[in-house]
Chain A
Amino acid sequence: MRHTPAGIAVIEFLLSHQSMQVEAGSKRRVACEMPCVALGPLAQLMAGSKPGDGVKVSGFLAARSLKVRSPILHINEIEFLEGTENGFQTEEERD
């Protein structure tokens, strides 16, 4: 975790995701990793977690910088999940 010169906490992390999705009418398994960043109180919250913890997040996408245009997920809400298998929430459970 680092701080901006104004003293706001910033933490960057990588979120790993796995789910079943439907594509052109057929089910498939998908996985991806998403770079994320959390600021302020959410950064403090994230600092207390450890790799492997399950989370449900929401936020918005923004370019990493003016030069690197690939997105990074800015976290606005975070919910720590317990009891889900391997920390993943699957589509089946939601149905």
Chain B
Amino acid sequence: MGMIRVALDVPLPRLFDYLADDVSIEDIGCRARVPFGTGEKIGVIVAIPAQSEQSADKLKPVTAILRDMLPLPAEWIALCEFCARYYQHPLGAVMSFALPPLLRRGKLPRRKALAPINANPPAVPLLLPEQATAVAAIGAGEGFETYLLHGVTGSGKTEVYLRAIEAQLARGRQALMLVPEIALTPQLEGRVAARFPGARIVSAHSGVADAARARAFLDALEGRADIVLGTRLAVFMPLPRLGLIVVDEEHDASFKQQDGLRYSARDVAVFRAKQMNVPIVLGSATPSLESFHHARSGRYRLLSLNQRAVAEAMPTVRTVDTRREKLQDGLSAALLEALGLRLARGEQSLVFLNRRGFAPVLACAACGWISRCCRCAANRVVHLADKRLRCHHCGLEAGIPHACPDCGNLDIQPFGRGTQRLEAALQERFPQARVLRIDRDSASTPTKWQALLQQIHAGEVDILIGTQMLAKGHDFPRLTLVGAVGADAALFAADFRAPERLFAQLMQVGGRSGRADLAGEVLIQTEYPDHPLYLALTDHDYLRFAIAQLAEREQAGFPPFAFQALLRAEAPHVEVALAFLQNAAAAAAPLLGDAVMLYDPVPMRMYRMNNLERAQLLVESSSRPALQQFLGRWSERLGGLKTPRTSRWHLDVDPIEL
């Protein structure tokens, strides 16, 4: 009688053995249907052990081994094992996440005949000298090497990716390309498909339907797909012929998953490139400080694109000092004038305000009532378009009250400014203009978003108002003005990564202007025009900003000069969460050693969310291996700690928000 070891999706850091007839080493990587408790579960066979650690009389026989698809390759299992170890997550849960839902449930998609390949070779644009240097460097690399492609907006990073992919396809290899947002994939897919008419391209992101996603996974697994395009979850696509990984906009926070398996797809991609001994290209106009630090220390190879490929010059970036000016609807005279000028010239403008809704709070001036969320430590936001008060954290919503719920005053007022209010103000000020607002409310589905994009491209819009949704990746050839409003708040946020994010955001949103043959202009309204961040921005000087930020981080001992993990706990009452963290800290004490430091448990900044109160415990080390070793031993002990039924906890390794 043989035996199989199966990874099951259960919240326990262990594997399960089952008895099985006629199993062989070939079955590793197959899915198996096994009895579990009173029901059945599907798992992945990760080993054929000779002996079980479980006592022989307790072993149950497997229900079925599913040999209906190619077994998952050993390196895919190794990748999942790495994630399980590194992110302190049960292996079965990692695999369950990495598999498409259909395969996870033990099913197979109906096969579809592959679409015929049409092979009209496209026109290939000429490379600028810097692009050519980058392409040559990546093409010449043998084996694993991480390239950090730092290219200013519009410098043609995508063309470099495409050339690198082209070289791999020519050698019969597969390429994996990760992008931050689902919204970006159709545009990119079109471009890649047009460029490689002879290649099979599959998409992998959460917007793909179950059957299609499973088919894409099988296409990749069985080596039929040549290019896999997708968001962070695509990093788990099995690729037997993998030759290159590309991570576009590598600094983007969406590569880090914020629940369940809290992995960073960028970091996992680097591991994977090393595992498969293939090159990886991380591209960005504003690389993350982590990646930039590696490039400076020589671990990554830095490739720079400083010239714009399409437009003649970078947009001029200016700050508008709003300290002494009386703003009209939050807009300065300079910005209003610039908007008027674009209108007269028939060009598009974009006003960037990273806050959706009409106003962030509804308040009663008579008694001081404000529209707090009863479930979160946050205010409910006024959405005038559909007359709702909505909490952006837990989703709680209600109609806008007629009168102040506390004192009865009818004259309750919205305070502050969101995109809807800006839209109304601009429409009133420029009645002849076609104003379009783009945020998660107006572009709530991919279909709506595509329709809005089409409107912009068709030139049916004069003034765009948008949140960060608009900042990423889209080219608007007629856009010549970008105004940034309300950016200052991020300068003084408690999170040490806030300036890095603000810089990247403003750089990206500014890069939307002047992409074709029209010169672009960027106006940033601020009360701190002399802030180094804005000065670096007006000079288009990422390097200066990044070097200054790294110096600050080094002084303060923050990442990338330290490695962090965060234990978060949530419970109906913060005392319970804090008590759990105190116990966890006590359990950690004997494991700490010299290299790992434990902070005190504290309530989180957003201390209450959806009726749960939250606290956190930060662990830090200057050595990643030391931290990893500690976390492995600590999480074993955490599993043994008593936790009240009402509370939950999780570990977040390399957290990006503290």
Residues of A at the B interface (CB closer than 8 Å) are: 4-8, 10, 37, 39-40, 62-66
Task: Select the stretch in B43-51, B361-369, B636-644 that faces chain A.
Answer: B361-369
Chain A, interface SS category: loop
Closest beta carbon of chain B to A6's beta carbon, Å: 5
Closest beta carbon of chain A to B310's beta carbon, Å: 44
Judging by beta carbons under 8 Å apart, are A39 and B411 in contact? yes
B499: A residues at CB distance < 8 A: none
Judging by beta carbons under 8 Å apart, are A65 and B362 in contact? no
Residues of B at the A interface (CB closer than 8 Å) are: 358, 362, 365-368, 382, 384, 387, 400-403, 410-414
B387: A residues at CB distance < 8 A: 5-7
B365: A residues at CB distance < 8 A: 64-66
Chain B, interface SS category: loop
A4: B residues at CB distance < 8 A: 410-413
Closest beta carbon of chain A to B530's beta carbon, Å: 31
Beyond the given pairs A6-B403, A64-B365, 7 more chain A to chain B contacts, judged by CB atoms under 8 angstroms and listed by A's residue number, are A4-B412, A6-B387, A6-B401, A6-B410, A8-B410, A39-B410, A66-B367
Closest beta carbon of chain B to A12's beta carbon, Å: 10
Partner among A5, A39, A66 whose Cβ is within 8 Å of the Cβ of B362: A5
Judging by beta carbons under 8 Å apart, are B366 and A63 in contact? yes
A7: B residues at CB distance < 8 A: 387
Most buried by A among B402, B410, B413, B414: B410
A5: B residues at CB distance < 8 A: 358, 362, 382, 384, 387, 400, 412-414
Query: Chain A: which residue is nearest B362 at the CB level?
Result: A5
Assembly CA distance A5 to B382 (angstroms): 8
Query: Chain B: which residue is nearest A39 at the CB level?
Result: B410
Assembly CA distance A5 to B367 (angstroms): 17
Assembly CA distance A37 to B413 (angstroms): 15
Instruction: Name 16 interchain pairs, CB-CB below 8 A, sorted by A.
Output: A4-B412, A5-B362, A5-B382, A5-B384, A5-B387, A5-B413, A6-B387, A6-B400, A6-B401, A6-B403, A6-B412, A10-B410, A10-B411, A37-B411, A39-B410, A66-B365
Judging by beta carbons under 8 Å apart, are B367 and A8 in contact? no
Closest beta carbon of chain A to B382's beta carbon, Å: 6
B412: A residues at CB distance < 8 A: 4-6
Query: Chain B: which residue is nearest A40 at the CB level?
Result: B410
A10: B residues at CB distance < 8 A: 410-411
Query: Chain B: which residue is nearest A66 at the CB level?
Result: B368
Query: Would A8 and B402 be within 8 Å (CB), given that A39-B410, A39-B411, A40-B410 are in contact?
Result: yes
Closest beta carbon of chain A to B371's beta carbon, Å: 10
Query: Chain A: which residue is nearest B389 at the CB level?
Result: A5
Query: Would A66 and B411 be within 8 Å (CB), given that A5-B358, A6-B402, A8-B402 are in contact?
Result: no
A64: B residues at CB distance < 8 A: 365
Closest beta carbon of chain B to A79's beta carbon, Å: 22
A8: B residues at CB distance < 8 A: 402, 410-411
Judging by beta carbons under 8 Å apart, are B358 and A62 in contact? no
Closest beta carbon of chain A to B281's beta carbon, Å: 49
B382: A residues at CB distance < 8 A: 5
Query: Chain B: which residue is nearest A5 at the CB level?
Result: B400
Closest beta carbon of chain B to A21's beta carbon, Å: 31
B414: A residues at CB distance < 8 A: 5
Closest beta carbon of chain A to B388's beta carbon, Å: 10
B410: A residues at CB distance < 8 A: 4, 6, 8, 10, 39-40
Assembly CA distance A37 to B365 (angstroms): 14
Assembly CA distance A6 to B384 (angstroms): 9
Assembly CA distance A64 to B382 (angstroms): 23
Closest beta carbon of chain A to B259's beta carbon, Å: 33
Assembly CA distance A39 to B401 (angstroms): 15
Assembly CA distance A8 to B411 (angstroms): 8
B411: A residues at CB distance < 8 A: 4, 8, 10, 37, 39
Closest beta carbon of chain A to B595's beta carbon, Å: 53
A39: B residues at CB distance < 8 A: 410-411
Closest beta carbon of chain B to A42's beta carbon, Å: 11
Assembly CA distance A88 to B113 (angstroms): 90
Closest beta carbon of chain A to B302's beta carbon, Å: 51
Assembly CA distance A62 to B364 (angstroms): 13
Closest beta carbon of chain B to A7's beta carbon, Å: 8
Most buried by A among B362, B384, B387, B411: B411
Assembly CA distance A6 to B382 (angstroms): 11
Assembly CA distance A4 to B359 (angstroms): 13
A65: B residues at CB distance < 8 A: 365-366
CB-based closest 8 A-B pairs: A65-B365, A5-B400, A6-B402, A6-B400, A66-B368, A39-B410, A8-B410, A10-B411
A66: B residues at CB distance < 8 A: 365-368
Assembly CA distance A85 to B637 (angstroms): 90
B368: A residues at CB distance < 8 A: 66
Judging by beta carbons under 8 Å apart, are A62 and B413 in contact? no
Assembly CA distance A7 to B414 (angstroms): 12
Assembly CA distance A49 to B382 (angstroms): 32
B413: A residues at CB distance < 8 A: 4-5
Query: Chain A: which residue is nearest B403 at the CB level?
Result: A6
B358: A residues at CB distance < 8 A: 5
Assembly CA distance A40 to B384 (angstroms): 19
Closest beta carbon of chain B to A24's beta carbon, Å: 36
Assembly CA distance A78 to B387 (angstroms): 31
Assembly CA distance A7 to B400 (angstroms): 10
Judging by beta carbons under 8 Å apart, are B366 and A62 in contact? yes
Assembly CA distance A87 to B413 (angstroms): 34
Closest beta carbon of chain A to B320's beta carbon, Å: 27
Assembly CA distance A79 to B412 (angstroms): 27
A6: B residues at CB distance < 8 A: 387, 400-403, 410, 412
Query: Chain A: which residue is nearest B407 at the CB level?
Result: A62
Closest beta carbon of chain B to A41's beta carbon, Å: 12
Assembly CA distance A91 to B228 (angstroms): 89
Query: Chain B: which residue is nearest A68 at the CB level?
Result: B365
Query: Chain B: which residue is nearest A64 at the CB level?
Result: B365
Assembly CA distance A65 to B368 (angstroms): 9
Closest beta carbon of chain B to A45's beta carbon, Å: 16
Assembly CA distance A63 to B411 (angstroms): 13
